[in-house]
Amino acid sequence: MGASSGIGLAVAEALASRGVRVGIAARRIEKLRELKSRYPDFVEYETIDIDKEDAESRLLHLIGRLGGMDIYFHVAGIGYENPGLHPAMETRIVQTNAVAFARMLSTAYRYLRGRGKGGQIAAITSVAGTKGIGAMTAYSASKSFDQAYMVALDQLSRTENAGISITDIRPGWTSTPLLHENTQYPLEMDLDYVLPQVLRAIVRRRRVAVIDWRWNIVTLLWRLIPDFLWVRMPLTKYFTGVKKTE
């Protein structure tokens, strides 16, 4: 879900090229059609806007055309900096990254539970979800919601003996269309570097995978900082981009 660019498109192509049947979905379908034309026997696609209520039925329709689903991988999301706290941007980020996230993961969970054969739900959240970040208030809060939601799904699966594995993938800044063009972000990573780590996290059914080792250290240190100190730290410049020089 969210396969029109960035990590979603890269993972879909990597799987299809290895002979895995993949169902891909996004609001924009140009790249989906292109991938289908390159791997016609391994790709099915569907136009899905996760913010709309018909997203659930469209996902189930795609699953039917694919012949079933073993792994649901959610990449769709928006946002980043909004220090001006513009209400329209704040609410849109929460709508897509939290409300629609819950809509799609709950749909996937019900499908996997209903078929009674286990399965896996994986999602891209973010290292930003580990702390509230002033420069990206709604974004960091929505990613924190996503991470807590996945913990709850994992607990539910274990309580019900549903056999559904939950994989929370938390990359740091990655060079995808979500980042501002011509802007350099702290510890920014290339997509080619991130992709194999995402695939390994899914294949190995990692519960939580922070990408990469540097961001793993950073997030571990964040957790050691009490909130009363954290809110006093002027860290905005470390979480936003700077213009690249020629």
**Dist. CA 33–CA 45, nearest whole Å:** 7
Q: What is the pLDDT of residue 99?
A: 97
Query: Between the CA of residue 15 and those of 19, 87, 134, 156, what are the distances in Å?
Result: 7, 39, 37, 29
* Residue 120, phi then psi, degrees to nearest 5: -145, 140
Burial 116-150 (b: 16+ CB within 10 A, else e): eeebbbbbbbbbbbbbebbbbbbbbbbbbbbbebb
Residue 244 has pLDDT above 50, yes or no: no
Residue 35 has pLDDT above 70, yes or no: yes
Q: What is the pLDDT of residue 85?
A: 85
Max CA separation in the chain (angstroms)? 56
Reported as a single tens digit per residue, the pLDDT across 50-77 is: 999 999 999 999 999 999 999 999 999 9
Reported as a single tens digit per residue, the pLDDT across 160-202 is: 999 999 999 999 888 866 555 556 667 889 999 999 999 999 9
Q: What is the pLDDT of residue 216?
A: 93
Compute the average pLDDT of residues 210-225. Answer: 92
Query: Between the CA of residue 66 and those of 34, 38, 45, 89, 205, what are the distances in Å?
Result: 17, 17, 9, 35, 22
**Dist. CA 78–CA 139, nearest whole Å:** 8
Residue 13 has pLDDT above 90, yes or no: yes
3-state secondary structure (DSSP) of residue 237:
helix
**pLDDT band for position 238 (cuts 50, 70, 90):** low
Burial 67-104 (b: 16+ CB within 10 A, else e): eebebbbbbbbbbbbbeeeeeebbebbbbbbbebbebb
**187 or 225: which leads in pLDDT:** 225
**Dist. CA 53–CA 221, nearest whole Å:** 39
